[in-house]
Structure 1
Amino acid sequence: MILAFTVLALLVTPVVAPAQMGGRSAEEIEKEAEADRARAQALRRKANVLSEEVRALKAESVSVARRTQDLEADLSAVEETLASLQAEETAKQKELRDRRAQMTETLAALQRIAVQPPEALAVAPGSPMEVVRGAMMLRVAVPAIEGRAARLRGDLEELAKLRRDIEEQRETMRATAAKLAEERRHLSTLLDRKKELRARTAAQSEAAARRADKLAEEAADMRELLAHLRRQAEIRAEALAARTPKPPEKPAAPSESQGGASTAGTAATPDTSQVARLNRPPDIRAFPGNKASLRMPARGRVVTRYGERVRRAGGPTESRGIAIATRPAAQVVAPYDGQVVYAGPFKGYGRILIIEHGQRYHSLLAGLERIDAIVGQWVLAGEPVGVMGGSQGQNPELYVELRRTGQPINPLPWLAQTGDKVRG
């Protein structure tokens, strides 16, 4: 985008026309043409530097976002393991309490018998045979009690190991959370730098956003909005093609009086092939033909599938996409290369982001707390585009749609699985 507007600025560079020559000599015109060439080259160099910086920022942000999402998945796995261990610890503690109660009763009975003198057994209630039978039962009970005591010791050792495992998992969780916080700070720095670069073309971006907002107000539903956005994209492409100058014809050999004018006019004409490439950056890939080629936009668990009956404000209906339960403040990335064509609220969806991928495919992401992309921005697959909301203990849901020619299709077959859980 930045390169586009910088190079397009060259198109409005004043061109020296023959009528402007006045009484100037060919040498003066040649000097002015040379200055024009120098300015054009300087602008091209600056545009190339900015373009390289943007590309580097994009590549790094994709890498950092991937590490961030991996850490989010690791942290969720650690939390699940910790919760399982804590539940096991609670059950083991209850089991130990029950066994201790049984042991206490049995040992109390043995202790009462043990402290009685032998002559007391002779006058104990019951016949001598009953007294002997009771003594024999106690003799048999002692090994069983010893076995229970051994199992109790084993249970205590297991409980101690569980507590050590819990502490290890807590330490892992603290370390993973610290790494995640560091990666998020790194990503925030990258996003801030990208915002600085985008600020140089803020006027064009704001104009595109205003047009998209107006279309959203006029559209009755998502299909109509996408149709409007496609038409706007076609209009912009036609306008850009109309503004792009055609390659000049090879001039005839200039005469003495016309030589400088011909040179100046050629110098002010930018490389039209470069202008043509601005409409779609070279690193933006076409939409893939193979399924399982898109990135899952967030890590989490799919809790609503395409076509599943869900309850909306207007009543039960079939889901046109999928819903992913994520971590609080989870990172959201672009599922594939494309251009942001809408970012903002829309009827029944809340805050949404729409990315056009070409071949009439669009992806829609809804439920974001914050959107880090702007209308007109080109994004790469895996590039960070927003963040989920939610507080600790809550799992916000990211709603994802994939549409072709405005019609929703099942996104799951297109999304490469990352090992996250899919319900159902």
Structure 2
Amino acid sequence: MNDAMEGLTSRLTALAVSALGLTLAGWGGVAAQSQLFVSTAAVPGFSGQDEAREALERAQASAGFAQQRARQFSEAAANATAEVDRLANESAALAAQIQQSEADILVASAQLSLIADQRRALDAQLAEKQQPLVKLTGAIQNMARRPVVLSAFQPGSLRETVYVRAVLETTLPTIREKTAELRSEVERGRALERDAARTLANLQSSEAALQTRRNELTALITQQQQASRSNSAMARREAQRALALAEGARDLDELVGEFDRAGLVRSALAALPGPIIRPERPDASRVMPAAVQSARSQDTSPPGEFQLPVQGRTLAGFGATDRAGMQSKGLTIAPSPGAQVVSPAAGRVSFAGPYRGFGRIVIIEHANGWTSLITGLARNSIETGDLVIAGAPIGTAGLSQPEIGYEIRESGNPVNPLNLL
């Protein structure tokens, strides 16, 4: 009798240990990962998975575009023969690399946010499955630990033990199945942990690259400014004239209108025919054909190689109505703090500086009567009178909830910037 009871108890113990081992295989992994995503559980900047996915797609596209522009500018700098052209393309290449690093940081942040959401959902599933398995394992352990002597003196204990054994043998496959699902989910959690570690490494690498490139750009801009100040007296006169216009203009629209008119006058003067050498005989004199003059003055094609001045989420589109009932004449973009702002196209800086509640603004005259207005800058790296190429660095956004406004006008009339992309 005792031998039979001992054998039966040993079998029960083996069954209990088997079930317990299966359960602990799952929950041991959960316990080992209890600190998973401590650094990523509350990634700021996204209200939900949809917003994070949208930001991820936008940032990946921006990173690819910035990388392509950086390569193009680097090639142009290598092929430039003039020092001023080399410096301009090098600074534009660095600005594009900075925007690429900013996009890479946003990609990593969005990925961390999505991984953290997946982990929270997984934790909830594991917690839901924990209680039944823990209770079942505890019951099996209690039965397996009951001394044989006590079982022998309890009426019907042998019958109950045989019954419990039969029940365990039929339920053990179910226990194995459930714990197999648990192990699969725990392995999924470990995969998420590895993804998070890689993403964090990418984030740290992008942040280091961003700081390095910003330092390089600052040094290059200083060198560029020193090289372009050969005619400082003319630059000072032009800056004083622009400042006088800014002080006299009643609002931003009037200010941009003044520079639009000045740009049109400058274009008209540039389109005039040049002097013709006096002929030897008066009857051989001639004038520039009118058709050539009109062809020069009527070209209204938009600036080539157009791009938005900064990467970010669009807060207000062209024609949107604000709280005051005014329609937007451009775009309002929310970039990352301290984001790099670049020239949307080649042109001449007609104004750069602070202006009446709009932060620092930059007005750029492009060819054929087009004008760009960028507002909300915290710092500008160009000055009035500078010539810029498309993608040249013109300043940076603020550090606290920055908003960059952008308008482009054709002969003074607002145009949707998105139509030019």
TM-score, scaled to structure 1: 0.66
Letter in 2 for 1:196: Q
Report the equivalent of 2:78: none
Correspondence 1:155 to 2:185:
yes
Q: Percent identity among equivalent residues?
A: 31
Correspondence 1:165 to 2:165:
no
Please state how far the C-alpha of 1:141 moved relative to its aligned partner: 3.1
- Contact 1:82/1:166 (8 A) holds in 2: yes
Correspondence 1:192 to 2:222:
yes
Report the equivalent of 1:405: 411
1:94-120, CA deviations, whole angstroms, 9 ceiling, x for partnerless residues? Answer: 433343333211211222333456557
- Contact 2:371/2:409 (8 A) holds in 1: yes
Over 3 Å counting, the alpha-carbon distance change for 1:287 and 1:352 in structure 2 is farther
- Contact 1:287/1:357 (8 A) holds in 2: no
1:304 pairs, out of 292, 305, 316, with 316
Correspondence 1:351 to 2:360:
yes
Question: Following the alignment from structure 1 to structure 2, what is the Cα–Cα distance between the partners of residues 287 and 296?
Answer: 20
Question: Following the alignment from structure 1 to structure 2, what is the Cα–Cα distance between the partners of residues 236 and 361?
Answer: 12
1:228 pairs, out of 234, 240, 258, with 258
TM-score, scaled to structure 2: 0.66
Question: Following the alignment from structure 1 to structure 2, what is the Cα–Cα distance between the partners of residues 78 and 94?
Answer: 24
The residue matched to 1:317 in structure 2 has which SS?
Answer: coil
The residue matched to 1:294 in structure 2 has which SS?
Answer: coil
- Contact 1:223/1:406 (8 A) holds in 2: no
Correspondence 1:71 to 2:77:
no
The residue matched to 2:257 in structure 1 has which SS?
Answer: helix
By relative contact order (CA 8 Å, sep 6+), the higher-ranking structure is: 1
1:278-321, CA deviations, whole angstroms, 9 ceiling, x for partnerless residues? Answer: xxxxxxxx87449x95112112222321122333xxx2432221
- RMSD of the alignment, in Å? 3.4
2:402 pairs, out of 396, 408, 412, with 396
Over 3 Å counting, the alpha-carbon distance change for 1:166 and 1:113 in structure 2 is same
The residue matched to 2:406 in structure 1 has which SS?
Answer: strand
1:16-44, CA deviations, whole angstroms, 9 ceiling, x for partnerless residues? Answer: xxxxxxxxxxxxxxxxxxxxxxxxxxxxx
**Paired residues, number:** 321
Report the equivalent of 1:202: 232
Question: Following the alignment from structure 1 to structure 2, what is the Cα–Cα distance between the partners of residues 70 and 204?
Answer: 36
The residue matched to 1:224 in structure 2 has which SS?
Answer: helix
Which is helix-richer, 1 or 2?
Answer: 2
Question: Following the alignment from structure 2 to structure 1, what is the Cα–Cα distance between the partners of residues 135 and 341?
Answer: 59
Please state how far the C-alpha of 1:134 moved relative to its aligned partner: 6.9
Q: How does 1:20-419 map to 2 (within 5 A)?
A: 52-116=82-146, 122-123=155-156, 137-233=167-263, 288-289=301-302, 293-311=305-323, 315-390=324-399, 395-415=401-421
Question: Following the alignment from structure 1 to structure 2, what is the Cα–Cα distance between the partners of residues 241 and 412?
Answer: 29
Letter in 1 for 2:374: L
1:249-287, CA deviations, whole angstroms, 9 ceiling, x for partnerless residues? Answer: 699xxxxxxxxxxxxxxxxxxxxxxxxxxxxxxxxxx87
The residue matched to 1:302 in structure 2 has which SS?
Answer: strand
Question: Following the alignment from structure 2 to structure 1, what is the Cα–Cα distance between the partners of residues 264 and 302?
Answer: 23
Question: Following the alignment from structure 1 to structure 2, what is the Cα–Cα distance between the partners of residues 96 and 234?
Answer: 69
Gaps of 5+ in 1: 1-50, 252-285, 416-424
The residue matched to 1:365 in structure 2 has which SS?
Answer: strand
Which is strand-richer, 1 or 2?
Answer: 1
Please state how far the C-alpha of 1:340 moved relative to its aligned partner: 0.8
Question: Following the alignment from structure 2 to structure 1, what is the Cα–Cα distance between the partners of residues 174 and 260?
Answer: 81
Letter in 2 for 1:343: A
- Contact 1:223/1:407 (8 A) holds in 2: no
Over 3 Å counting, the alpha-carbon distance change for 1:178 and 1:228 in structure 2 is same
Gaps of 5+ in 2: 1-80, 281-298
1:385-420, CA deviations, whole angstroms, 9 ceiling, x for partnerless residues? Answer: 1111215xxx522211111222222111213xxxxx
1:308-358, CA deviations, whole angstroms, 9 ceiling, x for partnerless residues? Answer: 2333xxx24322211222122211111111111111233453321111113
Over 3 Å counting, the alpha-carbon distance change for 1:230 and 1:153 in structure 2 is closer
